[in-house]
């Protein structure tokens, strides 16, 4: 089985950033740091005009945060640090001056939904159902909430949050604005991604950068906001309710 990794391949102005872990692409802190670094580096690379964010593997885009790390949290500082992992990746995507396209080939849970939402354009397949399971273990999708709400609105976010055991179909995600295009199979999706990225590389770089700035208007406070949300989650993960819920999952 392949080892966990984050790789970047740049060709014809397109930087493809791929991530993988054997645990259904659940992301530990070490991989999140590498992902943040890769996105920031591509954003400052003059050879790059557009970024494609993808995971390796067939049926799961991202299973969220690494569960073993979550269980091991013993104090508030470690809790905050853990949840800042996804916060920093989302902020890197926001601050990146390049258009980011997400390729969601399969199911995505928790923080993975946040990655899809933080992309500027999102492709998905019929297998790419989504779930926010956080509240079922006594925490909440607080860190990714601003990114997800920005795409689908408060009402749909509440529906997704409170139905914590339900996988929502890709068509629901498309109708709410999280996914821009949904395809039957990966091959058709990849063809569409190639067509769009090729067009984007032919456009004025400054126009693309200006467009991204407009897309992300009114998010200037996110650095402080996401840090506050990470602290909220870090405190809750130490609660008796959450510890008991995690222990049930462990068994």
Length of the chain in terms of residues written? 251
What is the model's pLDDT at position 246? 82
- Give φ, ψ of 204 to 5 degrees: -65, 120
Enumerate residue ranges in the chain where pLDDT < 50.
none
CATH homologous superfamily for the domain 5-187: 2-enoyl-CoA Hydratase; Chain A, domain 1 (3.90.226.10)
Are 102 and 189 within 8 A, CB to CB?
A: no
Q: How do residues 169-202 score in pLDDT, each as one tens digit?
A: 999 999 999 999 999 999 999 999 999 999 999 9
Q: How do residues 83-99 score in pLDDT, each as one tens digit?
A: 999 999 999 999 999 99
Neighbours of 149 (CB within 10 A): 18
Q: How far is CA 64 from the centre of its chain?
A: 8
Q: Which of 114, 101, 87 is nearest to 29 (CA)?
A: 87
**Alpha-carbon distance values, 97 to 48, 125, 227 (Å):** 10, 27, 22
What is the model's pLDDT at position 146? 98
Helices (H), 3-140: 29-43, 67-72, 76-95, 111-118
Domain segments of the chain: what residues? 5-187
Q: 11-46: string of b/e by CB count within 10 Å (b at 16+)?
A: eebbbbbbbbbeebbbbbbebbebbbebbbebbeee
What is the model's pLDDT at position 1? 62
What is the model's pLDDT at position 243? 87
What is the model's pLDDT at position 53? 98
Q: Which of 152, 114, 134, 163 is nearest to 241 (CA)?
A: 134
């Amino acid at each position: 089985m392949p080892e966990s990794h984050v790789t970047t391949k740049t060709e014809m102005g397109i930087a493809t950033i791929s991530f993988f872990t054997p645990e259904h692409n659940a992301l530990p802190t070490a991989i999140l740091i590498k992902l943040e670094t890769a996105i920031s580096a591509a954003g400052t690379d003059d050879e790059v005009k557009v970024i494609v964010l993808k995971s390796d593997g067939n049926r799961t885009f991202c299973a969220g945060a690494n569960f073993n790390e979550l269980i091991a949290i013993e104090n508030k500082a470690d809790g905050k640090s853990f949840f800042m992992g996804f916060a920093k990746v989302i902020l890197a995507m926001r601050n990146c001056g390049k258009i980011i396209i997400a390729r969601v080939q399969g199911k995505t849970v928790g923080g993975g939904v946040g990655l899809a939402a933080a992309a500027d354009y999102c492709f998905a397949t019929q297998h790419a159902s989504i779930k926010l399971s956080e509240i079922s273990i006594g925490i909440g999708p607080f860190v990714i909430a601003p990114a997800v709400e920005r795409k689908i609105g408060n009402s749909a976010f509440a529906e997704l949050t409170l139905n914590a055991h339900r996988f929502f179909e890709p068509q629901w995600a498309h109708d709410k604005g999280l996914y821009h295009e949904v395809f039957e199979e990966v091959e058709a999706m990849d063809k569409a991604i190639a067509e769009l990225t090729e067009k984007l590389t032919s456009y004025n770089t400054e126009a693309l950068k200006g467009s991204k700035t407009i897309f992300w208007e009114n998010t200037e406070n996110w650095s402080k906001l996401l840090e506050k949300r990470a602290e909220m989650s870090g405190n809750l993960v130490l609660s008796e309710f959450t510890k008991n819920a995690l222990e049930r999952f462990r068994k």
